[in-house]
Amino acid sequence: MTRRKFSVNYFKIVMASFTMIMVFSAHTNVLAKTKYKEIEVKGGATIKGIAKWKGDIPTLPPITVFKHMDKCGQEVLNPALVVNPTNKGIKFTAVYLEKVVAGKALQGKKAKIKVNSPEVLHAGRDKDQRPESQLCNFEEHVFGFVNTRNVGLYNMEDLLHNPHAFGSNDATLFNTPLPDRNRMTKKKLKRVKGINRYQCDTHIHMNGWMLGLPHPYFSISDKNGSFAIQDIPPGKYKLIAWHEGYNINEFASDKRPIYDEPHIIEKEVELVAGQVLDLNFEFPVREVIVKQEKMEREVAGH
């Protein structure tokens, strides 16, 4: 099947990558076994900074749209690498503590989820509701959440979108159709542990990543590359900064782009009470020869 080919190919690419990626796979197993305990955090520390691009900023070609071109357009911007030209800050970098066994309280299990809650994945564009929403795409290209609490899945377009996440063994972690505009779907995504790929099955140009953790100590960098993790109990931690690969290696049989392996930076940190640790992460972690391609349609259409 098309989806299986894509996942298996991607898995082979990751497994063939350098040792850091192998270590990262082990991290996701550790994350899966972590049990988080809520405690009162006194004198919590903060880690903040910017994920920055070093060197010339490559231009990624747009992604070709193959369905609903009358509404989505002929192509969409590629979100695999979004760099602010002013400060070279990189958007959609996941920064998180690998393992936290105890820390600040989580959101209540019955807490109300609203449209603008941070634990909501938004599909489609509605500038009145969400100024940064994307036409025929996911606003949260990299979506971080606590996997023991409810998240919201929200479609803002009159098109069917269905977030569908996969594990490293190609198993479906969840697949949730969102057929109705402006209707919130709530659910726990317990099977998303660590970083996993997700997509919209309806539209092959809609692809992204999910970071599911049992604790709240993570941040996804904004359009300026800024991130912040707050109220961290003093102690020693391993800090991870993760950004997906941005170079297209090939296209799957369903025409989805397959990228090279992610760029990962690890750092051991020791925090004391009340500390504010400023850290900047530089990407890419290795030289990548840009050989971008764009999949073309034989004919335009709808």
- The yes/no answer on whether domain 2-283 falls in CATH 2.60.40.420 is yes
Least confident of 2-6, 123-127, 178-182: 2-6
pLDDT for residue 1: 39
pLDDT for residue 296: 79
Comparison of pLDDT for 275 and 2, the residue scoring more? 275
What's the rounded mean pLDDT across residues 155-163? 97
pLDDT at 18 > cutoff 50 = no
User: Cα(57)–Cα(290) distance, rounded to whole angstroms?
Assistant: 10
- Residue 197: strand pairing partners: 166, 209
Task: Report the percentage of the chain scoring pLDDT > 90.
Answer: 76
Instruction: Say which residues have a Cβ less than 8 Å from residue 296's Cβ, sequence separation at least 6.
Output: 64
Q: Average pLDDT of the chain?
A: 88
User: Cα(172)–Cα(210) distance, rounded to whole angstroms?
Assistant: 13
pLDDT at 202 > cutoff 70 = yes
Comparison of pLDDT for 287 and 29, the residue scoring more? 287
pLDDT for residue 86: 96
User: Cα(167)–Cα(174) distance, rounded to whole angstroms?
Assistant: 10
What's the rounded mean pLDDT across residues 256-260? 91
pLDDT for residue 302: 57
| Domain layout of the chain by residue ranges | 2-283
pLDDT at 116 > cutoff 50 = yes
Helix axis angle for 19-33 and 2-15, nearest 10°, is 110
pLDDT at 55 > cutoff 80 = yes
What's the rounded mean pLDDT across residues 136-154? 98
pLDDT for residue 301: 55
pLDDT for residue 19: 35
User: Cα(245)–Cα(227) distance, rounded to whole angstroms?
Assistant: 19
Least confident of 29-38, 147-156, 180-189, 198-207: 29-38
User: Cα(193)–Cα(239) distance, rounded to whole angstroms?
Assistant: 17
Give the pLDDT band (50/70/90) at residue 300.
Answer: low
pLDDT at 23 > cutoff 90 = no
pLDDT at 15 > cutoff 60 = no
Give the pLDDT band (50/70/90) at residue 59.
Answer: confident
Comparison of pLDDT for 59 and 155, the residue scoring more? 155
Q: What is the pLDDT of residues 221-239, one digit of tens each?
A: 999 999 999 999 999 999 9
Select, from the ranges 61-75, 226-240, 283-297, the one with the highest average predicted confidence (pLDDT). 226-240
pLDDT for residue 290: 73
Structure tokens at 95: 């920064």
Contact assessment for residue 74 and residue 300, using Cβ atoms and an 8 Å cutoff: yes
**What pTM was computed for the model?**
0.88
pLDDT at 10 > cutoff 80 = no
pLDDT for residue 244: 97
Contact assessment for residue 144 and residue 96, using Cβ atoms and an 8 Å cutoff: yes
What's the rounded mean pLDDT across residues 122-133? 97
